[in-house]
Chains A and B, each alone.
Chain A
Amino acid sequence: MAAPHPSVSRDPLEPQPLIEGVHTDKTINDSLLAHVWRGAGKGWFALFSVALAMLGLLVIAISWTLYKGIGAWGNNIPVGWAFGIINFVWWIGIGHAGTLISAILLLFQQKWRTSINRFAEAMTLFAVICALLFPLLHTGRPWFAIYWLMPYPSTNGIWPQFKSPLTWDVFAVSTYFTISLLFWFLGLVPDLAALRDSSKSKTKRMVYGLLAMGWRGSGRHWAEYKWAYVLLAGLSTPLVLSVHTIVSFDFATSVIPGWHTTIFPPYFVAGAVFSGFAMVMTWMVPARHFLGLKHVVTMKHLENMNKIMLVTGMMVSYGYIMEHFIAWYSGDPYEYAQFFKTRWGGPMSGIFYLMVFCNVVTPQIFWFKKARTSIPVMWIASIFINVGMWCERFNIVITSLHQDFIPSKFENYSPTWVDITLFIGTIGLFSTLFLLFLKFIPAVAVTEVKELRHELAHDPTADPVGETH
């Protein structure tokens, strides 16, 4: 979909513009806030009720789990971890795209990030919330886990064990959530002010006013604000890399063939970004359509995201290849059996091949510009990738565990209805939060777009179109 009218962007290498059409601050402001002021449409309510229904399932599944115990799930010995941990890793991974877009692309001064970072950051938050459910829920006695994992001076005089990757997880994930939240909110403050000032009803002004905390766009504030924002981005960048690295340590530090692998950290991070972008794509495509954001979330944005998916997809594929190479090259019989017998021919090999198709084959279509710029193709591909990344975690967690060292304790695994309901339920939770976000908060960082517009306008290669109106 080429731009029908003159646009802001004069990079000969970048035919598609970052902002389509002619705008003033006012028009940008109104167009981007429009979907907040517009009353919730039928479509929104339809989606929202579906999401709520799934959320209900989550509540049921959780309460049943708490009532029965983990036995309500399909786990056993040797498969001590299953859906719970798969979902945890999957959701955490999805979270990564948000931070990556908003932080890393900010540091690299990628202008195209501005239109999608708010959206992606929100997704990070909600994904991490979904992820956070599982580590607690999957423990045998959550009522203790919830505070015994904290280093507090108990009357027992005993402390957490800091050599355990799970303890690292507790810190990593909670830090990740906190920082993402702060980062997100800090970026939101000026927009909240804009909402406050452009809202019609008194109550809305009140609510947004309170949230805006009396922001008045003061130059003195902006001066510190820019630093705070950039530094948060600077901290989030290593953070986002560390989080999935540490998650990968849960497996890499163990002795289990299929887990005990040095390549895990980079390969987990790549996978995380991979699935993260896929998820952003899955939601962005419909969102930009229904919220009328096409002029700021342009084909260029989508195409860039597809390129990143292609790159990270290749990294992940490399990870798979290396795993197998090392298993063969190391000469470790258990490793060898794990990869070349169990994964390829074991009772769960189906999942392995599905993973290969989704994560290795699918992204290859993005070599072709046609595919990169075709909305339906990229949307379907993104869904495939989401599925594929879930299968990858299934392979790592369950397939590795169910046949490890001693043949007499090889067991099969089959999930129960609770396992499946829990997974669906978290998707419900995610959707619910996301729909609420789209309803009450501008999906695009208004302030940053305004700034971007001015930057582009001042760009020597740009003509001052839309400047004098």
Chain B
Amino acid sequence: MGPLFRPRHNTLALISLFVVAAGAAGVPAGLMVYARTPYARGMQDPIEQPVQFDHRHHTRDEGIDCRYCHNTVDKSPAAGIPATQLCLNCHSQVWNKSPILEPVRQSFIQNKPMEWRRVYKVPEFVYFNHSIHVNKGVGCVSCHGRVDQMAAVEKATPLTMSWCLECHRRPEANLRPVEEVVNMDWKPDGDPVAVGRELAAKNDVHTRTSCTTCHR
């Protein structure tokens, strides 16, 4: 009746072995890589907001300070999303007919809050506090990127725990004089490391990596 298998089956056998091995090693590795991609981190995907609010215009052109709208950023865990009233401080005078701002006016008239889409989100069990970071000289740009160059705000940083840890272990790279925190294009003059060190000393920065610093 002749042999059970043919010569070609030898190659077949080897190939299939290889495929199994490659799969076993590749799938987990692939997942680990994926987890680090901007896509998986939800970075750089533009988010549709109820009103096309343009940060470029407000910060760069009008030179409005971040803290005018996000006015609890230096005294509260939350940076604060401006109340409708705040928008209308200006927009009751300027662009007060503009159709783009209709939702804002409606919100005020109907006394219904605006429903903005969240861009930056850390898990519920992470307690990030804006005020301490801002008061110790961590600039907005360190986490939020060049908001002044974004038409629609998008996530600029991965916000993975290891990313947070990086700075909590070596904060120098992200420090600046406290009065410069909102400055989008501040650059350290001189050796950044040296500047960072002396800022850390000046602002009395001591970052902690104890779990309860963020998880409570």
Contacts and interface: CB of A to CB of B under 8 A. Distances in A.
Direct contact of A and B (CB under 8 A): yes
B4 A156 contact: no
A155 B28 contact: no
Contacts, number: 29
A155 B4 contact: no
Contact of B160 (A152, A155, A209, A214): A155
A205 B4 contact: yes
B32 to A, nearest CB: 6
Which of B4, B32, B165 lies at the interface centre, i.e. has the most chain A CB atoms within 10 A of its CB? Answer: B4
Nearest to B36: A155
Interface in A117-162: 152-158
B5 A155 contact: no
Nearest to A213: B13
A156 B162 contact: yes
B169 to A, nearest CB: 10
Contacts of B36: 155
Contacts of B47: none
Given A155-B162, A156-B160, A206 B4 contact: yes
Interface string B34-52: 0110000000000000000
Given A152-B28, A152-B32, A213-B13, A157 B4 contact: no
A453 interface: no
Given A152-B32, A155-B36, A196 B4 contact: yes
A160 to B, nearest CB: 15
Interface residues of B, number: 13
Contact of A153 (B13, B32, B158, B165): B32
- A-side interface size class: 10 to 19
Contact of A157 (B5, B13, B32, B161): B161
Contacts of A153: 32
Contacts of B158: 155
A156 B13 contact: no
A153 B162 CA distance: 10
B108 to A, nearest CB: 42
Interface of B: 4-5, 10, 13, 28, 32, 35-36, 158, 160-162, 165
16 contacts: A152-B32, A154-B32, A154-B35, A154-B162, A155-B35, A155-B36, A155-B158, A155-B162, A156-B162, A157-B160, A157-B161, A158-B161, A206-B4, A213-B13, A214-B5, A214-B10
- Which A-B residue pairs are the 3 nearest by beta carbons? A157-B162, A155-B160, A156-B161
